[in-house]
């Protein structure tokens, strides 16, 4: 036989929890509030869990969070996520390098491509990432994929002007 759930947080009655349900936008929180309301109305843990679409152990965990934190404890928590590959200073340095553009003699490219930046990041920061990650980082830094037309580093502007066709108009 399952042990009775003890709700020690008496801030809300079952009717109060049902009123709070109508104001919630998160469906998971509504389901948890409904289960707690059922428990406060005297339903067993198995009945309340079955009516709310969860298992008894999960209901027990939510009751414990409600007892400790109140209604605010019923929201889903999001983890901190994966640690960034590059620090903020390294990201700013990468942005400056991209804006400055490649040096054709040392970098052997006329314009940056993601594959070139991937190799640059590996050399400079000792971090191996996928080309798509480079693209995501560029978007995070506010840089677009649009690039000016590359030009030859040894072009002669005066020779271009003399070569242009001039119309007799």
Contact 72, 45 (CB under 8 A): no
Q: What angle do CA 37, 58, 6 make, to 5 degrees?
A: 50
Backbone φ and ψ for 39, nearest 5 degrees, come out as -65, -40
Indicate if the alpha-carbon torsion angle 87, 90, 96, 97 is positive or negative. Answer: negative
- pLDDT: is 133 or 157 the higher one? 133
Tell me how far apart the alpha carbons of residues 134 and 125 are, in angstroms, rounded to a whole number. Answer: 13
Does the structure show a pLDDT above 70 at 5?
Answer: no
Confidence category of residue 4, pLDDT binned at 50, 70, 90: low
Could you state, in order of their start, the residue ranges of all structural domains in the chain?
Answer: 14-74, 88-147
Nearest CA among 35, 61, 34 for reference residue 46: 35
pLDDT at 8: 87
pLDDT digits (tens, 9 = 90+) for 75-108: 998 888 888 899 999 999 999 999 998 998 988 8
Task: Record the tokens describing residue 146, joined without a space.
Answer: 């649009």
- pTM for this model (two decimals): 0.51
């Amino acid at each position: 036989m399952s042990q009775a759930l003890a709700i020690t947080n008496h801030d809300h009655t079952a009717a109060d929890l049902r009123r709070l349900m109508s104001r919630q936008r998160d469906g998971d929180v509504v389901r948890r509030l409904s289960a707690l309301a059922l428990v406060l109305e005297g339903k067993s843990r198995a009945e309340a869990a079955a009516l709310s679409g969860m298992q008894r152990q999960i209901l027990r965990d939510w009751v414990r969070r409600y007892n400790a934190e109140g209604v605010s404890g019923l929201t889903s928590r999001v983890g901190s996520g994966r640690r960034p590959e590059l620090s903020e200073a390294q990201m700013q340095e990468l942005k400056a390098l991209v804006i400055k553009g490649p040096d054709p003699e040392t970098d052997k490219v006329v314009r940056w491509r993601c594959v070139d930046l991937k190799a640059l990041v590996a050399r400079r920061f000792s971090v191996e990432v996928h080309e798509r990650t480079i693209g995501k980082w560029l978007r995070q830094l506010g840089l677009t994929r649009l690039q000016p037309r590359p030009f030859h580093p040894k072009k002669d502007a005066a020779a271009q002007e003399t070569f242009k066709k001039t119309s007799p108009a």
